[in-house]
Amino acid sequence: MPALLSELTTLRLGGPARRVATATTTDGLVELVRGADAAGEPVLLVGGGSNLVVADDGWPGLVVLVRTAGLAVQDDGDTVLVEADAGLPWDDFVARTVAEGWSGLAAMSGIPGSVGATPVQNVGAYGSEIADVLESLRVLDRSTGAVEDWPAARCGFGFRTSAFKHTDRFVVLTVRLRLAVGPDAPPIRYLELARRLGVEPGERAPSARVREVVLDLRRSKGMVLDADDPDTWSVGSFFVNPFVPRELVPDGCPNWEVDGQVKLSAAWLIEHAGFHKGFGRDHVTLSTKHTLALTNRGGATTAELLDVARVIRDGVETRFGIRLRPEAHLVGVEL
């Protein structure tokens, strides 16, 4: 019987896969993808399944479960160069770096998914992002079949985006991160986190404490996976915080200057367009803890989820003239 994508994604949605294979080594991952490409078989890579919205019809080709787990460390004194395979669970990896006294990832604690997914949308949280520490990565270019090493400068990083975000041409195989050695996290940039830590923005705090506080913050918003909590049966933030010209910033909307652009709070836009925590229909609602998360309350379909997402997107556009776009990766469906 075909595997169901609903059993492989944190949303618990998605129909059957025609074929599933597991890659436990980088060479095995490359071989599986090359073989499917040579046969003209569609390929869907699944790590933690935490950013996938898959069609109810499922996937018509090969699903590759990325379960590679290699880790190598080069100690350069004041820093370490950590090379991690794509299939390592991200939060397990973050916990390891904190325990080892490697600084740079604590603010990204609790993010679900795997290491290989983090460069794809330049994963980040609480003022930190993967681009801050990524030195290089190794990718498979499916158009040529070649394995290539890319410096960070080639990755086209932006806010929740990269050269890998809107294409399936490249498969991330390993990432190499340059982390400082020491007990303290980098300077705290996010105001809410600084308050919880009892420090001023720009000051430092122990990485272990930062991780503890970040996990508490994420749990309070339903952003740490919990099999018993439907508020976590989601892809995290469904919509990305939009960038707009300064003149389009609504009165009272939290906003930040980022690389000369103005970033708005999508959660604020959703709430002030009239969609509050718990809004929804049938089996799909906004989280009761956080308005950026669309959740499967049990028994939902992907079609139902997208119907609710469209209502929210269109309502925000009608109210503010700003069109939200999904942060999640849509597979076989469109919003």
What residue segments make up the domains of the chain, in order of their start? Answer: 5-66, 71-220, 230-331
In this predicted structure, the answer to whether residue 89 has a pLDDT above a threshold of 90 is: yes
Give the pLDDT confidence of 190-199 residue by residue, as tens digits: 999 999 999 9
- CATH code for the structural domain at 230-331: 3.90.78.10
Question: What's the pLDDT score for residue 261?
Answer: 84
Question: What's the pLDDT score for residue 250?
Answer: 95
Give the pLDDT confidence of 286-296 residue by residue, as tens digits: 999 999 999 99
Contacts of 126 (CB under 8 A, 6+ apart): 107, 108, 189, 190, 192, 193, 214, 217
Give the pLDDT confidence of 30-57 residue by residue, as tens digits: 999 999 999 999 999 999 999 999 999 9
In this predicted structure, the answer to whether residue 325 has a pLDDT above a threshold of 60 is: yes
Contacts of 117 (CB under 8 A, 6+ apart): 47, 48, 50, 51, 86, 90, 123, 172
In this predicted structure, the answer to whether residue 317 has a pLDDT above a threshold of 80 is: yes
**Structural class in CATH, domain 5-66:** alpha beta
Q: What 3-state DSSP class applies to 96?
A: helix
Q: For domain 71-220, which CATH number applies: 1.10.1740.10, 3.30.465.10, 3.50.50.60, 3.30.300.100? A: 3.30.465.10
In this predicted structure, the answer to whether residue 1 has a pLDDT above a threshold of 60 is: no
Q: Is 43 within 8 Å of 168 (Cβ atoms)?
A: yes
Q: What percent of the chain has pLDDT over 70?
A: 99
In this predicted structure, the answer to whether residue 260 has a pLDDT above a threshold of 90 is: no
Q: What 3-state DSSP class applies to 335?
A: coil
* pTM reported for the whole predicted model: 0.93
In this predicted structure, the answer to whether residue 238 has a pLDDT above a threshold of 90 is: yes
In this predicted structure, the answer to whether residue 159 has a pLDDT above a threshold of 90 is: no
Strand partners, 79: 180
List residues with catalytic annotation.
160, 237, 327
